Structure 1
Amino acid sequence: MEGETAYTAWDLILGAGLVVQIVMLLLVLASVVSWVIIYVKSRQMVATARAEAAFSGLYHQARDLDQLVANVNRQDAAAASGSASVLRSGYRQFQRLRDEGLPLPDLREAGRRAMRVAMSEEVDRLDSSLAILAVISSSAPFVGLFGTVWGIMNSFQNIGATGQATLAVVAPGIAEALIATAFGLAAAIPSVIGYNMLTRRVEHHQTRLENFMDDLTGVLERQVRS
């Protein structure tokens, strides 16, 4: 129809008020940050899984811990695994304290304490930056909602200024409000999915390290008794 004006999404973004534009910019930056974190941490998780697979192969092939430590130190992929870090920490502690004549219960506790520290450092390394995803996923919808409310307020102000409640008067404000909502959801949805998936993988890795620590404690105790 004659007199109608078509607005593209880009026109509405450029024509939005300063506050709504700032909200959109913040949400775009948050979305970029979340995608970078998801990409980097996903690659880190893949590298961790490969390192653990390499270590697992050596662990099941070794005749004793001395051979295992030597084989792990010769293979870079296995040496970079969290299990290798746990092994080195527990093995060194057991060896050092056994030479000092410490009784077995004290050896066990000291060894597990050293392995627990190594495991915590590994989990902290994988868990770093995931809190940022949690913040983005929880706050982005509310930031977008703020832009939505501001856009609707502009629509009401236009109605008051013109004295008319026609579509041409309220449409731009409503449209920019909805775009702000879309920006908020676009930033939040990948963040919450990425956070949940990555957190679950970290928890799975932690459980694996805890099981390995229990198994290694038994092996070290048998070696002390022998």
Structure 2
Amino acid sequence: MQRQEALLDRAVDAANLGVSAAGDLSVWALFMNASLVVKLVMLGLLLCSIMVWAIIIDKFVTIRRINRAASGFEDRFWSGGSLDDLYESDGAKPVSPMAAVFGAAMGEWRRSARIPGVDLVRGGVKERVDRAIGITITREMDRLRRWVIFLATVGPVAPFVGLFGTVWGIMHSFSSIAAEHNTNLSVVAPGISEALFATAIGLLTAIPAYVAYNVISNSMDLFEDRLEGFGTEFAAILSRQSEERV
């Protein structure tokens, strides 16, 4: 009789403990009550989320800045002023990608023009200018796209990492249930909630990364097209000036 009463008291205590734990579903409680592996998964996803938002903010600020700088440079370029003066003010020490493209092309053209006896039309100057423009665009876009690949990696991977934490947490919960021989929902619910919290963090990390990657990549592609368009127009201008000098 005493043994039955003791077992009953243990069952009641376990049920009360489960109800208490189930009632506290705050973020901190879900984290603290999780197993060590699930905690590590949550911390890793949280760190990735911080990095994702840092990259998103940085890239959006950068895209806005370079487009504004490109618009200002194009206004100065098409204002009808001297290309040599523009090179001295913007191209020699460029602070924006479009100014860097202009500076690379203009610098190559000026170096070729100073070589005695060089035919600016048939001396391969156009090819060197085109190559300088292409290399500069590639270099500038590589610099602008730095860390964007991190968004492309986190987007599809984070949900699976969170799912791994969930599966591990559920396995840990079932092990505890088997050890206590108690299948009461109030006992099962806290462990399941802690496990599912890992998946929620994974989704909250992946969704912004995936959306931002698509938006940033599209903006970068549009800006690259803008640089290539400017480079083509400027190369044509230099080609006409070369023909006029002959």
1:147–1:181 Cα contact (<8 Å) kept: yes
2:151–2:212 Cα contact (<8 Å) kept: yes
1:58–1:72 Cα contact (<8 Å) kept: no
Which residue, out of 207, 213, 229, partners 1:195? Answer: 213
Aligned mates of 1:170, 1:102 — CA distance in 2: 84
1:111–1:217 Cα contact (<8 Å) kept: yes
Aligned-pair distance for 1:103?
5.2
- Aligned residue-pair number: 222
Over 4 Å off, 4+ runs: none
1:8 aligns with 2:34: no
Aligned-pair distance for 1:35?
0.9
Secondary structure, aligned partner of 1:119:
helix
Q: TM-score, normalised by structure 2?
A: 0.83
**CA-to-aligned-CA distance 1:86-110 (integer Å, 9 cap, x gap):** 1111112122223431452511111
Aligned twin of 1:222: 240
Aligned-pair distance for 1:66?
2.7
**CA-to-aligned-CA distance 1:152-211 (integer Å, 9 cap, x gap):** 112221232233322122112210111000111111111112222111111111100111
1:104 aligns with 2:104: no
Aligned twin of 1:85: 100
Aligned mates of 1:107, 1:26 — CA distance in 2: 53
Aligned twin of 1:122: 140
**CA-to-aligned-CA distance 1:107-137 (integer Å, 9 cap, x gap):** 1111100111111111011101111222222
Gap change, CA 1:73 and 1:207, over 3 Å in 2: closer
Aligned mates of 1:158, 1:67 — CA distance in 2: 77
What is the CA RMSD across the aligned residues, in angstroms? 2.0
Aligned twin of 2:87: 69
Aligned twin of 1:154: 172
**CA-to-aligned-CA distance 1:43-67 (integer Å, 9 cap, x gap):** 2112111110110111120245334
Stretches of structure 1 lacking an aligned partner (at least 5 in a row): none
| Bigger Rg, structure 1 or 2 | 2
Q: Which moved more, 1:99-108 or 1:37-46?
A: 99-108
Aligned mates of 2:40, 2:112 — CA distance in 1: 61
1:87–1:216 Cα contact (<8 Å) kept: yes
Aligned twin of 1:180: 198
Taking the TM superposition and a 5 Å limit, the aligned residue runs for 1:126-141 are 126-141=144-159
2:91–2:103 Cα contact (<8 Å) kept: no
Stretches of structure 2 lacking an aligned partner (at least 5 in a row): 1-14
Tell me the percent identity: 36
1:119–1:206 Cα contact (<8 Å) kept: yes
Secondary structure, aligned partner of 1:110:
helix
Q: TM-score, normalised by structure 1?
A: 0.90
**Counterpart amino acid of residue 34 in structure 2:** A
Secondary structure, aligned partner of 1:80:
coil
Taking the TM superposition and a 5 Å limit, the aligned residue runs for 1:9-48 are 9=26, 10-48=28-66
Aligned mates of 1:64, 1:158 — CA distance in 2: 79
